[in-house]
Amino acid sequence: MIEIILHCSDCNYGNVQIIDKWHKKRGFRKIGYHYVILNGRDKIRYRIERDGLIQKGRPVTEKGAHVSYHNENTIGICLIGKSGKFSERQIDSLFSLIYTLEKELAKKKIKIELHQHSEYDPKKKFCAGLDMKDLINKYKLYVLVKDYFFVDIDKLKKGVKRRK
């Protein structure tokens, strides 16, 4: 089992390069998160094409540095923004990233679990500030739509063609 652990950057803007600098200053080899999901603000200016953009941080093949004493078998994803304040595009990208990871890991018969930082560290109560029950329910719906709903429509179309 691999745990996907969600974080917030606790700042209004940022990206992999910026967090990499912060983490290096704290003495890390490099950025501690495996993925960062942008909110469209690398600095102050908002750019829609950067909102929801997924950037790779530390390779997933390397152990992350994002939860004290709980980095084994985890993937750390950081959403840029203050606690619980994320854009719809970010959440949509988060779901597509989790979905991709879940499918990849399923090939190796590895299951995933979704958590956020605050579940493991009482000092990080604000991180990521998500309603996990609600998020997991929404993710399940996302998977349902992706796996069944769309596939069925494709099959239906093929079925109609074959009957001609």
Active site (catalytic) residues: 7, 33, 117, 123, 127
Minimum distance from residue 115 beta carbon to Zn ion (Å): 11
**Which residue ranges make up the site for Zn ion (CB under 5 A)?**
7, 117, 127
Q: Measured from the CB atom, is 104 or 131 closer to Zn ion? A: 131
Minimum distance from residue 100 beta carbon to Zn ion (Å): 22
Q: Is 14 helix (H, G, I), strand (E, B) or coil?
A: coil
The β-bridge relationship of strands 35-41 and 112-116 is unpaired
Question: Which among 119, 81, 137 is positioned nearest to 5, based on CA atoms?
Answer: 119
Q: Measured from the CB atom, is 7 or 23 closer to Zn ion? A: 7
Minimum distance from residue 138 beta carbon to Zn ion (Å): 21
C-alpha dihedral over 157, 159, 162, 164, to 10 degrees? Answer: -70
Which residue bears the tokens 């004290």? Answer: 68
51: β partners: 39
Q: Measured from the CB atom, is 16 or 127 closer to Zn ion? A: 127
At 16, the amino acid letter reads: V
